[in-house]
Chains A and B, each alone.
Chain A
Amino acid sequence: MKRHRRTLIAALAALPLVAVPLAAHAADYPSKPITFVVPWPAGGTTDIVGRLLADAMSARLGQPIAVVNRVGAGGSLGSKAALDAPKDGYTVLVTTSGNHILTPLAKDVGYKADDFVAIGQIASRTLALGVKSDKPWKNLKDLQKDAAANPGKFTFGAVPNVMPFLTLDQWARMAGVQLTHVPQKGGAPGVTGTLGGHLDMVPESLSSMQSHLKAGTMRALAVFNEERDPAAPDVPTAKEQGFAVFGNPFTGLAVAKGTPQAAVDKLRAAMGATATDPAFKDKAVKAGSNVTYLDGPAFAAVWARDWAAYAPVLQKKK
């Protein structure tokens, strides 16, 4: 509503430049531009997927979609902004495990996962444990043996308390070894540091080390999936190697609870049609994100699963 009043003022200021239809009922949603809030920086993986989705969904919804980066505090600033905006379906959060599950579990940020309604999941990343190819380890058992003999000797680079870190941490505890954590400011620096020999290993998304795996400069000891990733079929899962450790950071869309059902339905339909469109899938895959689409209810189930899985780990740290 407020945009329309502002438009009135614009007209009063002798500016009939920005005329927009005045009535906005849930039935004719969307009748004005939509905003996607990305709680992570412009140019990152989440941002790119968000912008691709915005571009494709805007054609289906018939309204422009603005992408806004609201960065800070582990993604909680953007999430909170999306939650506090009018609950009319015109503000959509591009959400990830980090800002949706991990940040609210670790800190008191004023929202929980189920304060949002799931529109759908667009991507689920595969995490892999990468080492430089001159390391002797070929699989997790090798690493376990070596690390058990040398407690604290081997380093890994990861941003603290995000999913790659938590996943490797969980593996180390399960394997009974002690690894030294070198905190990083982002995922990419960890891969670079591993490649440069400054770090011994890095848990990161498979896509961020894919080119190094192909070039033979890095080796992946495991992926932390239920099944092997089709993008790297010869990398075994941790589960196959006897460690039932999983970590699948997600990216998807959400709106604040209380948004009219009509708007939710339209967004879900538009997202579903976009995500299953082969042309879109193609672009997303090439931009580094495998499309693993889940509809709203299934995405909400993922939230519930991850919230339950990480609550004991993160709340203990608090």
Chain B
Amino acid sequence: MLRALHDAGPAAAILAAGLGFLAYLLAFPAQGVSQHVSPTTLPTVLAACLVVLGALMLLRAVRRPRDDAPPEAPRARPHGGNARVLLLLASCGGYVALLPLAGYLLSTALFVGATAWLFGNRRPLSIVLLMIIVPAVLLVFFEKFMIIPLPGAALLG
């Protein structure tokens, strides 16, 4: 049952995405002069392909739930894996949100600290050193050496 879901899930997602884009593209107003192939022709064809492929995969997953594939070795799933993935994504998102507000050094330091912790780093000295060295080295390299400005801080400016 789980296996069927493993195959049917992405198939359904592709089918849904394909249908969504297809609907969006078909409703698109025709534009520009006719040039044999319009700007939306290829995307429309591709969205249709996605629908067909998604439907085929879904059909296959439902009809033959994986009996033709060698059973997968059960993967070692350490405790809390999914939670850590979500936490990592959240800290990435938080980092992007924080960058324009708190500036490069502060937000990168926080981000590096958070990810080090998520990856199982529990030595305070190591984490603190990372939080100082990584943003500082990157800042000096990009801003001072390459002369490419990094995001400044709006909140504090």
Contacts and interface: CB of A to CB of B under 8 A. Distances in A.
Nearest to B144: A18
A64 B153 contact: no
Contact of A6 (B104, B131, B144, B147): B104
B140 A17 contact: yes
A38 to B, nearest CB: 12
A67 B146 CA distance: 10
Contacts, number: 60
A205 to B, nearest CB: 26
Name the prevailing secondary structure of the A interface residues.
mixed
Interface residues of A, number: 20
Contact of B149 (A1, A10, A66): A66
Contacts of B139: 10, 18
A6 B103 CA distance: 6
Contact of B157 (A1, A35, A68): A1
A66 B148 contact: yes
A2 B152 contact: yes
Interface residues of B, number: 22
B136 A13 contact: yes
Contacts of B153: 2, 5-6, 9
Interface string B132-157: 10011001100110011100111011
B109 interface: yes
A67 B149 CA distance: 9
Nearest to A58: B147
Contacts of B17: none
Given A6-B152, A6-B156, A66-B149, A14 B105 contact: no
Contact of A5 (B103, B109, B131, B135): B103
Interface of B: 102-106, 109, 131-132, 135-136, 139-140, 143-144, 147-149, 152-154, 156-157
17 contacts: A2-B154, A2-B156, A2-B157, A5-B103, A5-B153, A6-B103, A6-B153, A9-B102, A9-B156, A10-B139, A13-B109, A13-B131, A13-B132, A13-B136, A14-B132, A33-B147, A33-B149
Given A13-B109, A66-B148, 14 more contacts: A2-B152, A2-B153, A3-B152, A6-B104, A6-B153, A9-B102, A10-B105, A13-B105, A13-B135, A15-B132, A15-B136, A17-B136, A33-B149, A66-B143
